[in-house]
Structure 1
Amino acid sequence: MSRSRAILGLLTALGTAATAVAVTAAPASAAACDPALVAPAGSLVGNLWRSNGGERSVYGCPTTKEYGYADKRGSYQFFRNGKIVWSPNLGDGTLVRAYYAGGKAVFRWSGLGRDWDFFNVRWSINGGKATQVKVARQTPWSGVYAVNPSCQDGVCMTSNGHGGVLKATFIVQGCDRGTFSSDCGPWSIATSVKAPY
């Protein structure tokens, strides 16, 4: 009798656990991105997106396919929360990207073709006056910079629609320290992100 109760108790516990798992687990397809927009394996943009967590990454799902530029080597793809650009003029593996996190527009770059002492970053909001800043490197080939896109030159735009859509645009170049001046490389292809306001 006690053995039957033990088996019944075990089956009840297993059934309860299975029900709990079934209730809490979301269907795999609920968060899946449109497969027609996901860049194929071998694409630098797609590989970066996947290595950062794919649809669960800071970029979210792609909203366009990956497109090449008509006038230069390189490609870009828009995502729900940002944009990733392949900028081979700085090195064949160079990727620049922008996304929103914590109320800031975050700009990252990596894979530059050589090692640099520091980086110059230029950014602007809605195509306005560009601001240039000197940024320390994370590694000799990568870095990160973040700005609050709602304020520039002491003028702040609110999230209630005044001032329209905020778009932060970024470019980067690597530089070496010289004796009297800096020696800098070319500028990257621009990347940008629109504020989620």
Structure 2
Amino acid sequence: MYLSTAEPTIKQRREWYSNEIIKDEAWVEVQGSDGQFLISNYGRVQRVYKHTMKFILPFQYQDKGFLQVKVRLNGRYKEYKVAHLVAMHYLGPIPPGASVVHKNGIRMDNFVGNLEYIDKQTLGKRTGYKSKSKAVIMFEPETKTFINEYRSVREAARKNFVSYQAIFDHLNGLTSSAAGMMFMYSEDYEAEFGTAYDLPSSL
């Protein structure tokens, strides 16, 4: 764990990211990359050079919370969602019409054990069953920029030292904020600012 009072530089982030050792991490070659890229079961990506390898830092897509990385996949060098890359390499081909879903509701957790394929109908039913513990997003009031995501209202309250009721009332439109902070249910945030679970036609 790294603690710092200042915003880390890209160089520092890359160094920390590269030095992290994950005991059960496994690696496979990204399909159609001619051996240039590797993806791990934890969603980390490496670029393979002639004499060395280099980690590639993922980035948040439009500040919506889920991560992307630029790699060559099946001959096409472009930006792909990390969750989709992990799923297709470790869970198998993406079924037609299916979505890649994060089991714990946190889209930055791209460990293969946290991912699954679900058809749209099943996903809709599951969302309804879990309505009492839906994931919650904190965002910046002015720009609506994503700040953090939590598994439930209770987790958001606990980690931000705010009462459960304050956040719950805010989510239900009874107050303009929760102790000055802004929250939305993840599904509502995605509906207004962009969908996270929909698969692009070419992954």
Structure 1 and Structure 2 fold alike (TM over 0.5)? no
Q: Larger % of helix: which?
A: 2
TM-score w.r.t. structure 2 length?
0.25
Q: Larger % of strand: which?
A: 1
Question: Whose Rg is larger?
Answer: 1
TM-score w.r.t. structure 1 length?
0.25
